């Protein structure tokens, strides 16, 4: 593996790239080799939750499912927070049961996120995808044991350079999410910010992948 993409919504099947493709229970694609699966807070449908959770729990037991997610909390949508919280907590408990890392979507609810992880005593790795916030918040997340993934906002917001530079080498991942730019572009900018070669960034991410995904899924 030359490149690992922590979070993408599109399987591109490029040689040398392992893509963790985001899947939803209600539109699962069996042809995707490695994936995460979860109920995104944007797409919670109460009438469908029972069947969604049945599919989710079934797929979490498959070796090609590397993580649960994306799931989480979002205060800027109309889905009631109590319903979001209920669905999120149920998913976290499934991740703990099947020992899968969790890919997190979080908007304006980081304190609630941290409190929920602590309340439920979740010990599997928690990965914040698409980070775009402050160095102070990044530090708080790191102190609580989370991993942080950077992608399109690293490309779009030059102020994230300082945040990324401050990241410990054993606690970050890279991704594309829905960005039109390539994963190689993200890796190149990450290497520039860290003052190292792209090959060194690849080695760091591969090492982090081995720590989180290979050990916990084998």
The binding site for a divalent metal cation comprises 70, 105, 129, 177
Q: Say if residues 129 and 151 touch (Cβ distance below 8 Å).
A: yes
Taking the alpha carbons of 16, 22, 25, 29 in that order, is the dihedral positive or negative? negative
Separation between Cα atoms, residue 141 and residue 173, nearest integer Å: 14
What are 74's two structure tokens?
A: 């979002």
Phi/psi zone of residue 99: left (φ > 0), alpha (ψ -120 to 50 degrees), beta? left
Separation between Cα atoms, residue 140 and residue 215, nearest integer Å: 25
């Amino acid at each position: 593996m030359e490149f690992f993409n922590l979070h993408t919504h599109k399987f591109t099947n490029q040689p040398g790239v392992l893509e963790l493709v985001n899947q939803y229970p209600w539109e699962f694609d069996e042809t995707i080799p490695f994936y995460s699966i979860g109920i995104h807070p944007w797409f919670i449908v109460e009438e469908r939750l029972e069947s969604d959770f049945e599919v989710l729990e079934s797929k979490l037991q498959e070796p090609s499912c590397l993580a649960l997610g994306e799931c989480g909390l979002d205060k800027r949508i109309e889905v009631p927070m109590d319903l979001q919280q209920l669905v999120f907590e149920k998913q976290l408990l499934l991740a703990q049961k099947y020992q899968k890392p969790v890919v997190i979507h979080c908007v304006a609810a980081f304190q609630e996120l941290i409190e929920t992880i602590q309340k439920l005593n979740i010990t599997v790795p928690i990965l914040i995808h698409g980070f775009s916030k402050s160095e102070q918040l990044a530090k708080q997340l790191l102190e609580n044991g989370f991993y942080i993934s950077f992608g399109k906002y690293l490309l779009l917001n030059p102020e994230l350079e300082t945040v990324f530079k401050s990241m410990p080498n054993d606690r970050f991942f890279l991704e594309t999410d829905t960005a039109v730019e390539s994963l190689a572009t993200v890796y190149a900018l990450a290497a520039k910010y860290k003052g190292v070669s792209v090959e060194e960034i690849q080695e760091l991410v591969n090492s982090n992948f081995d720590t989180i995904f290979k050990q916990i899924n084998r």
